[in-house]
C-alpha cells in the first residue's frame, strides 16, 4: 500500500523527535537527574508521545481500528501538556533566586495535568464510529492549556523584568529560547483550539482520519512544524545554556520542616 500524506507527516516526526529526545536527555543529565526531572522530563515525555503517535499512524495503514484511531487522537491532544510544561521547567531553571512564588508554578503545573486527564478521558470515552467530535471534556482541557500558555508568558515577562539587570549568560539564552518559541507555540495552540471550538473541518481530527489534504496541510503547517520548531529552539538554547561557563546547576530543595533521623 502506498504511503499517504498523513503517513509522510508521521515519518517526519519519527525522524525529528528522536533528536529532541536525545537532546533533552543530555540537558537532563547535565542539570542533574533528580533536580532536572522537574524541568527536562517534559520534552523527553513529549518526544515519546509524538513517537508513539507516529507509530500508531503507521500501524493504521494495515490496522485502522477504533483503538488505533483513539491512540492517535489521544497522542495528538496529550502532547500539549508536556509541551507547555517544558517552558515552565525552563522558568524554574532561570529563577535561581526563587523570585517566582511556588504557588503560581504549582498552579500552572496542576492546570496542565488536569487538562491532560480531562483530554484523555474525553477522547477515550468519545464515540469515534462516525469520526471524532470534541466533547465537553476535551474542550475544557483545551481551555486549561490556553490558560497555562497565558500564565507562562506572563511569568516569563515578569521574571525577565525582575532579573533584567542581573542576568547571567545562560539565563539570557533560556529567556531567548522561550521568547523565540512563544509565537510558534501560540500557533500550535490556536490550531487545536480551532479544532475544538469551531466546526471548521480544516482543523478537525475527523478530517485527518479521512486523509483530507487541506486538513493535513493545516495540521502539518500549524501543528507539527510549529511544535517541532518550538521544541528545537528550546533544545538548542537549552544545550547552549548548560554549556555556558556561568551555568548554575539547581540545588534540590529541602523541606525546612524535615528533621534528620535520630541516630
Supply the CATH number for residue 113's domain.
1.20.1070.10
Per-residue pLDDT of the chain (263 residues; tens, 9 = 90+): 567 888 888 899 999 999 999 999 999 888 888 878 878 889 999 999 999 988 988 887 776 677 777 777 778 778 888 999 999 989 988 888 888 888 888 899 999 999 989 888 887 776 555 556 677 888 899 999 999 999 999 999 999 988 888 889 999 999 999 999 999 999 999 998 998 888 888 887 766 666 667 788 888 999 999 999 999 999 999 999 999 988 888 776 554 444 544 43
Residue 260 domain flag: no
117 membership: H or E segment, kind and range? helix 102-124
Residue 257 domain flag: no
Residue-level pLDDT at 184: 95
Residue 193 domain flag: yes
Could you tell me which of 89, 56, 73 has the C-alpha nearest to residue 231?
89
Residue 203 domain flag: yes
Residue 263 domain flag: no
Range of the domain at 60: 5-242
Residue-level pLDDT at 234: 93
Task: Pull the grid cell for residue 172.
Answer: 539570557
Which own/partner pairs from 218-224 qualify as long-range (CB within 8 Å, at least 24 positions apart)?
218/191, 219/9, 219/191, 220/9, 222/187, 222/188, 222/190, 222/191, 223/188, 223/191, 223/192, 224/9, 224/12, 224/13
Residue-level pLDDT at 212: 66
Residue 64 domain flag: yes
Residue 231 domain flag: yes
Residue-level pLDDT at 33: 83
How many domains does the chain fold into?
Answer: 1
Amino acid at each position: 500500500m502506498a504511503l499517504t500524506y498523513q503517513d509522510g507527516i508521521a515519518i517526519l516526526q519519527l525522524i525529528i523527535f528522536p533528536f529532541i529526545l536525545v537532546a533533552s536527555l543530555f540537558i537532563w543529565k547535565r542539570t542533574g537527574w533528580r533536580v532536572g526531572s522537574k524541568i527536562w522530563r517534559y520534552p523527553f515525555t513529549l518526544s515519546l508521545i509524538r513517537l508513539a503517535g507516529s507509530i500508531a499512524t503507521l500501524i493504521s495503514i494495515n490496522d485502522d481500528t477504533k483503538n488505533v484511531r483513539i491512540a492517535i487522537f489521544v497522542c495528538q491532544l496529550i502532547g500539549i501538556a508536556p509541551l507547555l510544561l517544558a517552558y515552565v521547567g525552563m522558568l524554574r531553571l532561570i529563577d535561581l533566586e526563587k523570585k517566582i512564588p511556588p504557588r503560581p508554578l504549582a498552579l500552572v503545573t496542576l492546570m496542565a495535568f488536569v487538562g491532560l486527564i480531562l483530554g484523555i478521558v474525553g477522547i477515550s470515552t468519545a464515540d469515534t464510529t462516525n469520526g471524532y467530535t470534541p466533547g465537553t471534556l476535551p474542550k475544557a482541557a483545551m481551555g486549561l492549556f490556553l490558560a497555562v500558555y497565558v500564565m507562562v508568558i506572563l511569568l516569563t515577562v515578569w521574571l525577565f523584568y525582575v532579573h533584567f539587570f542581573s542576568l547571567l549568560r545562560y539565563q539570557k539564552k533560556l529567556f531567548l529560547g522561550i521568547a523565540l518559541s512563544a509565537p510558534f507555540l501560540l500557533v500550535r495552540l490556536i490550531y487545536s483550539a480551532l479544532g475544538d471550538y469551531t466546526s471548521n473541518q480544516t482543523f478537525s481530527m475527523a478530517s485527518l482520519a479521512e486523509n483530507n489534504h487541506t486538513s493535513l496541510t493545516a495540521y502539518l503547517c500549524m501543528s507539527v512544524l510549529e511544535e517541532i520548531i518550538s521544541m528545537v529552539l528550546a533544545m538548542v538554547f537549552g544545550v547552549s545554556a548548560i554549556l555556558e561557563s556561568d551555568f548554575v546547576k539547581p540545588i534540590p530543595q529541602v523541606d525546612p520542616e524535615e528533621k534528620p533521623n535520630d541516630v
